[in-house]
Amino acid sequence: EENTVNELRSALLEWWDEDDGKQNQRATPWRTMMKDDIEKYAYGVWVSEIMLQQTQTDRVIAYWENWMKQWPTYRDLASA
């Protein structure tokens, strides 16, 4: 089972990196935001995942950007 997981992981990462990521990766704000603040980065990705559950990526981007301007951290959201 562990070999299967490792094989799947390798295949997925290989697919992701094909053509230097130009084919399979989308440039989205939550993927390109600065990762030096891991807490803020994780929060931004989490917010995007929630929004993407019911909405297409192209439509989420503007909402995500507005959300992150209004509540840039989970602490800001919690105190709202």
Element (H, E) at 67: helix 57-70
Per DSSP, the three-state class of 44 is helix
18 catalytic residue (yes or no) = no
Task: Write down the catalytic residue from 18, 39, 49, 65.
Answer: 49
- Quote the CA–CA distance of 52 and 33 in Å, as a whole number: 17
d(CA 71, CA 55): 20
Known catalytic residues are 49
